[in-house]
Amino acid sequence: MKLIFLGPPGAGKGTQAAGVSAHLGVPHISTGDMFRSAIQNQTPTGIEAKKYLDAGELVPDSVTIAMVKERLSMDDARNGYLLDGFPRTVDQAIALDEISAPDAVVDIDVPDERLMSRLTGRRICGKCHGTFHVSKLTDEHTCPICGGELYQRSDDHPDTISTRLKAYHASTEPLIGYYKGLGKLRQVNGDSQLEDVFKAILATLE
């Protein structure tokens, strides 16, 4: 199965994608994670992408599309994929249709006013890359799953979050209409408990 998770930053795409990709047996491919590790490893893509991530702006399509094309050519993506954070522009969606068109697109919907607190309270595990919200942690610094150290993403600060939300509305939201037109869109309410969102996603894929 070839699947896309769409939705604003903070909708829970990453968390849900981890569970759903394991359930379906397809690789979870997050362009945000790929950029962050490219930055850490100082690859040419990472060096190019860093200024955009720091600002909360989209990395240019040419860079992003080339990176995803290479990733999708790898062996583990032969039987499908779950893309999280790509496509984010109509041009990226058109490119993906040429590389390997998705079967379904899940739009995880969360109202804007909920996103800011979700993102400012988000903590990431440096070891297992799990994502957590401070409101659910007993220890703000330690991963409840693997014991690794938790950190806050540098783009999870209010100014950068506003820029990311603007980029979402301007560039990514039009994809809802694009995939609706192709009959591939499935909408899920992301403003509820994690387990309920997970169940709703699986139900919509049946």
Catalytic site positions: 13, 88, 122, 153, 164
Stretch touching ligand ADP by CB under 6 A, among 21-29, 31-39, 74-82, 123-131: 31-39
Residue 53 binding ligand ADP, by CB under 6 A: yes
Please tell me whether residue 52 binds ligand ADP under the rule CB under 6 A.
yes
Please, what is the angle between helix 31-40 and helix 61-72, to 10°?
100
Nearer to ligand ADP, 49 or 206 (CB): 49
Q: How far is the CB of 151 from Zn ion (least distance, A)?
A: 11
CA 67 to chain centre: 15
CB of 144 to ligand ADP, least distance (A): 20
**Considering all CA atoms of the chain, what is the largest pairwise distance in Å, rounded to the nearest integer?**
46
Assess 86 for contact with ligand ADP (CB under 6 A).
yes
Rounded Cα–Cα distance for residues 13 and 11 (Å): 6
Q: What type of residue is 147?
A: G
Q: Classify each residue of 76-112 as buried b or exposed e, where b means 16 or more C-beta atoms within 10 Å of its C-beta.
A: ebeebbbbbbbbbbeebbebbeeebebeebbbbebee
Write out the residues near Zn ion by the rule CB under 5 A: 125, 127-128, 130, 143, 145-146, 148
CB of 61 to ligand ADP, least distance (A): 7
> Which entry of Zn ion, ligand ADP, none binds 15, CB below 5 to 8 A by partner kind?
none
- Least Å distance, CB 139 to Zn ion, is 12
Site of interaction with ligand ADP (CB under 6 A): 9-10, 31-32, 35, 52-53, 56-59, 64, 85-86, 88, 92, 155, 164
